[in-house]
Structure 1
Amino acid sequence: MKRLSLIVLGCVLLSGCIFDPVFDTSNWDAYQRSSAAIKAKLNNDDLRRLEIALRYLLLEGTPNIAADEQLYNNLTATNPYFIVARLGPKIDGRSAAAVIKNLTIKLDSEISATEARLQNLRDVLGSVEVSSPRYYWKQSGYLAQPVVEFAVRNDGRSPISRIYFRSVLTTPNRSIPWARQEFVQTFKGGLEPHEKQQLTLQPRGQWSDPQLKDLYNAELKVTVTNFEDANGAKVIAVDSDQLDLERKVRAALQ
């Protein structure tokens, strides 16, 4: 019996030796030590995936997370206590593999839920019709300026106060657009059901490139990405930038 107990104990000890190290976020020093131990056992690919996961988890929930390079650098350089408090509930007691796996599952769930909501709302966006989009240059005094023009009609049952558009200028057999822009149009007095208005806009930036003036076969595509009702509530309350970021992070964790 004693010999059997020793064998069992030896197996337990041996099995404990092959366990992956886990994060300890009880304090900053413990976090640094555990993090170093974890990273020392990872290959380059797993280390890259862990860094991506930790970065996302640290900045998760902050506004404009995709563009917060400076915020990330500031936090990691000057605020260790914030890092421990922020990451602790998400990684404490977990190995690198578990952190990556948990975040992957979380992102899968959030992406699926958002995409399902978007799919259900695409028909709603179809109630705003865009027709006859045109891109041309108009002489104004001594200057020629680009013009984007199209008609928009409210085929829904409720008034619309504001519409969000995405415009893309292409030519046949060219995969990269010449210009693209997102813009918002506010309708004074609203756009009532079955009402149609002609919109004429003067785009800037890429659209003002003089070489575009000679595009005889230019094709302008204008799509509706969202709109607001009479109370100013968006029909699709989805952060498209956040969804794009989640997709990119999920792909990088694979």
Structure 2
Amino acid sequence: MKLRLWIMCASAAILTGCGEPKLDGSSEQALQQSVEKVSSKLEPGKQSEFKEALQVIAFSKMDLGALMKGEQTPDGVAGQMFSELDGKTVDEVIAKAAAIKVERAAREKEQALKEIAELEALAMKAEEAKAQLAKFVVSRSRFFLRDREYSYRKEPIIELAVRNGTEHPISRAYFKGTISSPGRSIPWLVKDFNYTISGGLEPSEAQEWVLAPNMFSDWGKVDAPEDALFTVEVVRLDGPDSKALFDARGLSDTQAARLQKLKAQYQ
């Protein structure tokens, strides 16, 4: 009886292989036929799992960046996939796909943690910069619209008196200006502006500036009452090399939302 069973199994192996059916990755056509044959014998749930596993393995061999650079070809990707699937059973394909997902999740988490660290470092650096920016003192700030000769539009004017209390020469200063009225919760205007300082501003030096923003910008369109106040916050200072010495602007809204999402998902 045992001998007869062995002979039957050996004969079947010559045609289809003994045990679970396996995929044939010798060519695209052979693989397609063997996938269809194997899949047709599976329960619907297992069929879906098998199909998804095949897609996971196929995409794992593809590098879009390398394809666009010509470092990888579609034929090369197909060859890798055929080789990977050749001789595998359904369960082996599903197991391989599961392993790929685990590896991918580990890489994604590693990358996410690096990005979290970078964003948190940027936010921390911005907080540390505020102490230095506070030394660049704006002692007087005024905003008004003045009549312009031969023009029906009024010209926006910003007047500032500043003193450089930092230990560094400053070539350019960046500000956030707010025009608001006492008792009102919503400002008339909140807008950034900056000024390139001719000759720079050395430590302990003070200057008074009269700036004229574009009259067609929001500065020229604001319609604030006479009792409105103009307050200015220093948000960045550039050194002699025109690079940022201190920058308190921190994370953008997009970066802050990104950080919150990553931390919720991976921490």
Pick the aligned partner of 1:211 from 215, 223, 242. Answer: 223
Asked if the contact 2:119–2:255 (Cα under 8 Å) also holds between the matched residues in 1, the reply is yes
The aligned counterpart of 1:164 is 174
- Describe the shift of the 1:156–1:236 C-alpha distance in structure 2 as closer, same or farther (beyond 3 A): closer
Q: Structure 2: how far apart are the matches of 1:174 and 1:100? A: 47
The aligned counterpart of 1:123 is 131
What code does the residue aligned with 2:178 have? V
- TM-score of the two chains, using structure 1 as the length reference: 0.57
The aligned length equals 179
Matched, 1:189 2:199: yes
Determine what percentage of the aligned residue pairs are the same residue.
26
- Structure 2 gap ranges (5+): 1-48, 72-98
Matched, 1:226 2:236: yes
Matched, 1:139 2:147: yes
Shift of 1:252: 4.1
Asked if the contact 1:151–1:196 (Cα under 8 Å) also holds between the matched residues in 2, the reply is yes
What code does the residue aligned with 1:162 have? R
Asked if the contact 1:165–1:183 (Cα under 8 Å) also holds between the matched residues in 2, the reply is yes
Does the residue aligned with 1:133 lie in a helix, a strand or coil?
Answer: strand
The aligned counterpart of 2:94 is none
- Describe the shift of the 1:25–1:246 C-alpha distance in structure 2 as closer, same or farther (beyond 3 A): farther
Q: Structure 1: how far apart are the matches of 2:249 and 2:145? A: 34
Q: Structure 2: how far apart are the matches of 1:94 and 1:102? A: 14
Asked if the contact 1:180–1:206 (Cα under 8 Å) also holds between the matched residues in 2, the reply is no
Does the residue aligned with 1:211 lie in a helix, a strand or coil?
Answer: coil
Shift of 1:128: 0.8
Q: Structure 2: how far apart are the matches of 1:192 and 1:106? A: 38
- Describe the shift of the 1:113–1:131 C-alpha distance in structure 2 as closer, same or farther (beyond 3 A): same
- Describe the shift of the 1:239–1:148 C-alpha distance in structure 2 as closer, same or farther (beyond 3 A): closer
Q: CA RMSD in A?
A: 3.6
Asked if the contact 1:135–1:149 (Cα under 8 Å) also holds between the matched residues in 2, the reply is yes
- Structure 1 gap ranges (5+): 1-16, 32-78, 86-91
Does the residue aligned with 2:186 lie in a helix, a strand or coil?
Answer: coil
The aligned counterpart of 2:256 is 247
Pick the aligned partner of 1:26 from 58, 61, 67. Answer: 61
- TM-score of the two chains, using structure 2 as the length reference: 0.54
What code does the residue aligned with 1:27 have? M
What code does the residue aligned with 1:111 have? L
Asked if the contact 1:159–1:193 (Cα under 8 Å) also holds between the matched residues in 2, the reply is yes
